[in-house]
Structure formats: structure tokens, C-alpha cells
Amino acid sequence: MTYGFLDIAMTPSVKSAQAANGSGDHWSISKIDRQFDRFTDTEKQFIAARDSFYMASVGETGWPYVQHRGGPAGFLRVLDDRTLAFADFRGNRQYISVGNLAANDRVALILMDYPNRRRLKIYARAKERELAGDAALAETLSLPGYKARPERAIVLHLEAFDWNCPQHITPRFTEAQIESALAPQRARLEQLEAENAALRQALAAAQGE
């Protein structure tokens, strides 16, 4: 059986750590087939709803670098069942991730859904693409109305992914999600206030007769 994500992650030192902590047999004799090397509709819908993710790359010093990427929901696009891409917006101009990818194309992504306590982990190989030389890709990654300036595209070729368990994920909500949840209560409050104002007017009119 294959377990694509762990087939990459389970190095000899990881296996030693599992054995030392009593979980070595669990993974070595696992009969689960979780190759997970192609995105299904479940992953595509999840990815399309995200407005941020974390991406780790590795520098030539051997140190990992984790960067937060954000934008409008859906800015990380699924091009096909094994390819993702996003527009790389101008930031603080350190270009650490860009530089790391030039030397080592391996990346790891974590996509979070805090309200529903879901987490998608992705191993991929990343490649920088100039948007000026690829009109079709530029159109695919365009975000009308978003003011950030894209400097390039980052195309990610999937190696493996996996879903994490929800434990220890603290639910968090965006302003838009809170506003949506409160909308019915606010509408009801406005209705009650209008009814209260009408009753006060009626009472005042009755007392003035």
C-alpha cells in the first residue's frame, strides 16, 4: 500500500522518532492506501475557498523559510488535478522564497480552514513563471478589482497531499464570516426596533387624544 505524503516525509530519522514514541508499528504495517497524488473535487473546492496559505521553502544554508501568502478567496488556482498556481504579489522585496526556489524547487504548503477545523498539507515542486510571457496564465490568475501588483506566477506541481486531523485547531473567523453570521440577528433587531418605534408613536397618539 502507498501513503504518498508519508512516503516522502518518513525519512530514516522520522522512522526512528516514530519507533521511539511507540508509533512505528502503526505506520509500518498500515494497510491504508492513501497515495493522494491527484486533486479530487473535494480538494479543488477546499482550495478555491481559501484566502491564504503558508508555504515553506528551504534555503542554501539548509534553513527552512515559511511565508504567508494571502489574497482574495480563490487566488490559489487549481489548473488541473496535479497543478496549482498563484500570482506572486509585490511585498517587502526580500525575495527569500523566490531565491530559495531557484536553488531548490521543493515546497510544502499548509492550507487552513479555521472555522471548520480542517487542514490540507501539500508537497509540491514550484517553478517561477513570468506573467508577461504567458498571456493565458496571466488571464487565469488575474484578480479583477484586487489592487496588489503581481510580479510573477508561481506554478506548483503536486507530489502528494494529506488531510490533518482537526484536533488542536482553534476555530477563528474572518470579519466577513462574522458579519454573515450576525446578519439574521441584526435584521431581527431592526425589525423589533421598527415595531417598538411604531408602538411608541401609537401610544403617544392615543395619549394626545
Same domain assignment for residues 111 and 149? yes
Which range of residues forms the domain containing residue 2? 1-33
Would you say residue 168 lies in a domain?
no
What rounded mean pLDDT belongs to the chain?
90
For residue 59, the domain's CATH number is: 2.30.110.10
Same domain assignment for residues 93 and 13? no
Work out the average pLDDT over 60-66: 96
Same domain assignment for residues 29 and 41? no
SS3 content of the chain, % helix, strand, coil (to 5): 40, 30, 35
Set of cell numbers at residue 157: 506541481
Residues 6+ apart with CB under 8 A from 136: none
Is residue 128 helix, strand or coil? strand
Same domain assignment for residues 45 and 148? yes
| Residue 1, pLDDT score | 47
| Residue 157, pLDDT score | 97
Same domain assignment for residues 24 and 47? no
pLDDT above 70: percentage of residues in the chain: 94
Same domain assignment for residues 119 and 46? yes
3-state secondary structure 45-73: HHHHCCCEEEEEEECCCCCEEEEEEECCC
Burial class (CB in 10 A: 0-12, 13-18, 19+), 11: exposed
Same domain assignment for residues 121 and 20? no
Report pLDDT digits (tens) over 186-204. Answer: 999 999 999 998 898 888 8
Would you say residue 206 lies in a domain?
yes
The continuous run of DSSP H or E covering 6 comes out as helix 4-9
Same domain assignment for residues 22 and 94? no
Work out the average pLDDT over 25-35: 65
pLDDT band at 33 (very low <50, low <70, confident <90, very high): low
| pLDDT at residue 25 is higher than 80 | no
| Residue 36, pLDDT score | 82
| pLDDT at residue 7 is higher than 90 | no
Same domain assignment for residues 91 and 136? yes
Same domain assignment for residues 21 and 109? no
Q: Report the C-alpha gap between 107 and 8 in whole angstroms.
A: 12
- Number of structural domains (the chain) is 3
pLDDT above 90: percentage of residues in the chain: 60
Would you say residue 120 lies in a domain?
yes
Same domain assignment for residues 202 and 107? no
| Residue 29, pLDDT score | 58
Work out the average pLDDT over 104-123: 96
Report pLDDT digits (tens) over 133-179. Answer: 889 999 999 999 998 888 999 999 999 999 988 888 999 988 888 99
Would you say residue 138 lies in a domain?
yes
pLDDT band at 2 (very low <50, low <70, confident <90, very high): low
Would you say residue 87 lies in a domain?
yes
Same domain assignment for residues 51 and 146? yes
Is residue 138 helix, strand or coil? helix
Would you say residue 177 lies in a domain?
yes
